[in-house]
Homo-oligomer: A and B are copies of this chain.
Amino acid sequence: MSAIKKVVLAYSGGLDTSVILKWLQETYGCEVVTFTADIGQGEEVAPARAKAEALGVKEIYIEDLREEFCRDYVFPMFRANTLYEGEYLLGTSIARPLIAKRLAEIASVTGADAVAHGATGKGNDQVRFELGVYALQPDIQVIAPWREWDLTSREKLLAYAETHGIPVEGKRGTRSPYSMDANLLHISYEGGPLEDPWFEPEESMWRWTASPEASADQATYLELDYRCGDIVAINGEVLSPAKVLESLNQLGSKHGIGRLDLVENRYVGMKSRGCYETPAGTIMLKAHRALESLTLDREVTHLKDELMPRYANLIYNGYWWSPERFLLQQLIDGSQVTVNGTVRLKLYKGNVVVVGRRSETDSLFAPEIATFEDDAGAYNQQDAEGFIKLNALRLRIEALKKQTH
Query: A370 at the A/B interface (Cβ < 8 Å)?
Result: yes
* Central interface residue in A131, A363, A393, by most chain B CB within 10 Å: A393
Contact of A306 among B131, B138, B269, B310 (CB under 8 A): B310
Whether B324 and A303, one on each chain, are in contact in the complex, defined by CB atoms closer than 8 angstroms, is: yes
CB distance from A4 to the nearest CB of B (A): 15
Contacting residues, chain B, for A391 (C-beta < 8 A): 127, 131, 269, 387
Asked if A54 is an interface residue, CB under 8 A from chain B, the answer is no
Q: Report chain B residues within 8 Å CB of A349.
A: 212, 348-351
Q: Among the listed B85, B293, B358, B384, which residue makes an inter-chain contact with A293, where contact means beta carbons less than 8 Å apart?
A: B85
> If the complex has contacts A121-B382, A397-B270, are A196 and B392 also in contact, measured as CB distance less than 8 A?
no
Residue A335 interfacial (CB < 8 Å): yes
What are 15 A-B residue pairs whose CB atoms fall within 8 Å in the complex?
Answer: A81-B86, A130-B392, A144-B384, A152-B374, A263-B293, A265-B293, A270-B379, A300-B323, A302-B309, A305-B309, A350-B350, A362-B405, A363-B401, A383-B386, A387-B389
Q: Tell me, rounded to whole Å, the shortest Cβ–Cβ distance linking A190 to chain B.
A: 7
A87 touches B (CB below 8 Å): yes
* Cα of A220 to Cα of B9 in the assembled complex, Å: 48
User: Does B198 contact A357, Cβ atoms closer than 8 Å?
Assistant: yes
Interface size class of A (residues with CB under 8 A): 35 or more
Our pick among B319, B348, B386, B400 for the contact of A384 (Cβ within 8 Å) is B386
Please, what's the 1-or-0 string for A103-132, where 1 marks a CB less than 8 Å from any CB in chain B? 000000000000000001110001100110
In this assembly, does A26 line the interface, its C-beta being within 8 Å of a C-beta of chain B?
A: no
**Contact call B399/A190, Cβ cutoff below 8 A:** no
Q: Mark A280-301, 1 if CB is under 8 A from B, else 0.
A: 0000000001100110011111
